[in-house]
């Protein structure tokens, strides 16, 4: 997969920059974008699974030992016939780059970090397009990741093993459920038979609702 530019608006938003950044920041951003695009090696893998049991608190998949637990994921997948399990990573080099930059220049490091977070979302968006094209006559809703709502982050190990992610894209989790390489994402995408209104992301199921800077000022992250 090839990403040719980083969504700067989004990266600046991660940095809490509300207006147009100053020239020094913009200049650093140019530099960071170039380095990041050269160092990242985006990869993703996915798998489609049918849902065979759907209760209020969990969703079971045919042929998988993995169970998707929690009220929020269960409600989110309401009406779905199956799910896409997906994961993506920018690769190991980005971690090395971030470590190195942090010893040299923290200003650059925070911008790189925000850009890498943006980049992995862009990778997921691209992946989703490819997946959607492959699943004809099926309709995808938005990505729901472990750690969101009450979908436990502890699921990462089983999630990754269901996708054989270490073998396929080199993605692992540590004992705390942190993905390594760090700029990585795992997500469940609900699959409907018929086209549905894509429900809005809800602040209610968001872990950050009490601390969210967007909410404080009356906005949302959408």
Partner 1 sequence: MKKEKFYKLLSENEFVFLDGAMGTMLQSKGLETGGVPELLNLTKPEWLTEIHSAYVSAGSQLVYANTFGANRYKLAETGKSVAEIIPAAIANAKNAVGDKALVALDIGPIGQLLEPTGTLSFEDAYDIFREQIKAGKEADVVVFETMTDLYELKAAVLAAKENCDLPIICTMTFEQNMRTFTGCAISSMAITLEGLGVDAIGVNCSLGPRELEPVVAELSKWTTLPIVVKANAGLPDPVTNTYDITPEEFAESYVNLVKYGVKLVGGCCGTNPDFIRAVVKKLDGMKYTRPEVQLEAAVCTPAKTVEINQPRIIGERINPTGKKLFKEALKRGDIDYILNQAIQQIEAGADILDVNVGLPDIDEKEMMVKVVKAIQSVTDLPLQLDSTRPDVLEAALRIYNGKPIVNSVNGEEGSLEAILPLVKKYGAAVVGLTLDEGGIPKTADGRFAIAEKILDRAQKIGIPKRDVFIDCLTLTASAEQKAVMETINALHRVKTDLGLKTVLGVSNISFGLPNRELVNCNFLQMALTNGLDLPIINPNAALMTGAVRAYKLLTNIDENASEFIAAYAESSMTTSMSSTSSAPVQQKSGVTDLPTAIANGLKSEGAKITEELLKTHDTMDIVDNMLIPALDKAGAEFEQGKIFLPQLIMAANVAQAAFEVIKSHMSAGGETVSKGKVVLATVKGDIHDIGKNIVKVLLENYGFDVIDLGKDVPPETVVEAAVSHSVKLVGLSALMTTTLGAMEDTIKLLHEKNVPCKIVVGGAVLTPEYAEKIGADYYAKDAKETVDIAKKIYAE
Look at phi and psi of residue 55 and say left if phi exceeds 0, alpha if psi is from -120 to 50, else beta: beta
Residue 122 C-beta: closest distance to partner 1, Å:
20
Residue 197 C-beta: closest distance to partner 1, Å:
26
Residue among 217 and 222 whose Cβ is closer to partner 1: 217
Half-sphere exposure of 105 (CA within 13 A, CB side): 9
Residue among 71 and 93 whose Cβ is closer to partner 1: 93
Binding site for partner 1 (CB under 8 A): 15-18, 21-22, 24-25, 28, 41, 43, 45-48, 63-66, 91-93, 95-96, 98-100, 102-107, 109-111, 113, 131, 134-135, 147, 153-154, 157-158, 161-162, 166-167, 169-170, 172-178, 180-182, 207-208, 210-211
Residue 144 C-beta: closest distance to partner 1, Å:
16
Please give the structure tokens belonging to residue 23. Answer: 């020239």
Residue 4 C-beta: closest distance to partner 1, Å:
18
Residue among 41 and 78 whose Cβ is closer to partner 1: 41
Please give the structure tokens belonging to residue 72. Answer: 């929020």
Q: Which residues contact 31 (CB under 8 A, 6 or more apart)?
A: 108
First to last CA, the chain: 25
Residue among 120 and 169 whose Cβ is closer to partner 1: 169
CB atoms under 10 Å from CB of 110, counted, come to 17
Residue among 22 and 125 whose Cβ is closer to partner 1: 22
Torsion of CA 198, 199, 201, 205, to 10 degrees: -140
Residue among 199 and 207 whose Cβ is closer to partner 1: 207
Picking from 135, 136, 128, 139, the residue whose alpha carbon sits closest to that of residue 185 is: 128
Residue 60 C-beta: closest distance to partner 1, Å:
11
Residue 160 C-beta: closest distance to partner 1, Å:
9
3-state secondary structure of 90: coil
Backbone angles phi, psi at 144, to 5 degrees: -125, 120
Backbone angles phi, psi at 44, to 5 degrees: -145, 160
């Amino acid at each position: 997969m090839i990403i040719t530019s980083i969504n700067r608006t989004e990266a600046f938003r991660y940095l809490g920059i509300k207006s147009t950044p100053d020239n020094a920041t913009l200049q650093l951003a140019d530099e960071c974008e170039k380095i990041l695009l050269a160092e990242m090696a985006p990869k993703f893998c996915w798998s489609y699974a049918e849902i065979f049991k759907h209760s209020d608190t969990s969703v079971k998949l045919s042929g998988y030992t993995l169970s998707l637990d929690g009220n929020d994921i269960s409600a989110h997948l309401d009406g779905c016939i199956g799910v896409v399990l997906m994961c993506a990573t920018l690769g190991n080099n980005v971690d090395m780059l971030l470590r190195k930059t942090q010893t040299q220049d923290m200003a650059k490091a925070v911008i790189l970090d925000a850009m890498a977070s943006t980049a992995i979302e862009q990778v997921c968006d691209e992946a989703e397009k490819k997946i959607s094209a492959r699943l004809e006559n099926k309709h995808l809703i938005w990505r729901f990741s472990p750690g969101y709502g009450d979908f436990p982050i502890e699921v990462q190990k089983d999630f990754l093993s269901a996708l054989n992610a270490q073998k396929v894209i080199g993605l692992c989790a540590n004992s705390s459920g942190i993905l390594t390489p760090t700029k990585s994402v795992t997500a469940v995408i609900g699959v409907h038979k018929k086209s549905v209104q894509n429900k809005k992301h809800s602040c209610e199921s968001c872990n950050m609702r009490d601390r969210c800077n967007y909410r404080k000022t009356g906005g949302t992250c959408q």
